[in-house]
Amino acid sequence: MRYFYSPDTCALAGHIALAEAGHEPELIKVDVFTRTINEPGDYNNVNPKGYVPLLEFDDGRKLTENVAILRWISKNSERFSKSPPDDDRLTETLAFISSEIQKPFVFSFFLPGDEAKKDLSEMVAGRFAYLTQVHDKKFLLGNDFSVADAFLYVMLRWARMVNMEVSTRLLEYRDTIEQLPSVQRALQEEGLAT
Ligand SMILES: N[C@@H](CCC(=O)N[C@@H](CS)C(=O)NCC(=O)O)C(=O)O
């Protein structure tokens, strides 16, 4: 199995989930700005979409999109199958993080125009505020860590990177996740450990 990622991007979520699940993929670092990898050919030949993450199975099949990759990891490991999250809730939560937090976050980083940036980051802050209101368990889907937590953790890293204010509850949640050995391992492998 090979996992194509770029450090501290949304692909860190799948990286953490793979580590937590006990999968040991070969990690392939992609430069998303030049779309190149450390092997012959450019990344567009691997993924015509041009972005990370991408999970490639040993038989050559490829899976893209955070939601699909994270769901695959959740369903294909003993670790997550021990106490599987409700499948509909998992999909709902991953879709929410992907389209309501991750995408506007990325646009706020790269779109020109201060007004657009401000609107988008207010939108993201509103989504974090919503999550603070509705989630009262240790993790997003209950008392067990799920792949959705790996995804939200990465979004909270981004919030820290841009000094976005988030609730104390989410900060504590982020810090709890950051202590997990799988998270520390993925951070180490991406050169992000402090
Ligand atoms: N819809 C995709 C979006 C992935 C995405 O936005 N990836 C970013 C990193 S967080 C990327 O590789 N951007 C480079 C590009 O779009 O060229 C998914 O959820 O997997």
What is the CATH number for 72?
A: 3.40.30.10
Q: Is the pLDDT reported for residue 4 higher than 90?
A: yes
Residues 53 and 120 in one domain: no
Residue 169 counted as domain residue? yes
Atom number in ligand 1 closest to CA 65: 20
Q: What is the CATH number of the domain that holds 102?
A: 1.20.1050.10
Cα 13 to middle of ligand 1, angstroms: 12
Residues 98 and 147 in one domain: yes
What is the average pLDDT across 24-36? 91
Q: What is the mean pLDDT of the chain?
A: 94
pLDDT for 34: 85
Residue 194 counted as domain residue? no
Q: 32 CB less than 6 Å from ligand 1?
A: yes
Q: What is the domain extent for residue 17?
A: 2-79+183-189
Q: 128 CB less than 6 Å from ligand 1?
A: no
Residues 89 and 74 in one domain: no
Q: Which two tokens stand for residue 59?
A: 């038989």
**120 close to 104: Cβ distance less than 8 angstroms:** yes
Residues 61 and 99 in one domain: no
Residues 91 and 161 in one domain: yes
Q: Kindly report whether the global pTM for this prediction surpasses the value 0.75.
A: yes
Residues 15 and 67 in one domain: yes
Residues 153 and 97 in one domain: yes
pLDDT for 39: 63
Q: 65 CB less than 6 Å from ligand 1?
A: yes
Euclidean distance between CA atoms 85 and 58, whole angstroms: 27
Question: Which residues lie below 8 Å from residue 179, measured CB to CB, with a gap of 6+?
Answer: none
Residues 89 and 176 in one domain: yes
What is the average pLDDT across 147-161? 98
Torsions phi, psi for 152 (to 5 deg): -65, -35
pLDDT, one tens digit per residue, over 108-137 is 998 888 888 899 999 999 999 999 998 889
From 24, 20, 17, select the one nearest 1 (Cα to Cα): 24
Residues 74 and 27 in one domain: yes
Residues 43 and 107 in one domain: no
Number of structural domains the chain divides into? 2
pLDDT, one tens digit per residue, over 75-87 is 999 999 988 999 9
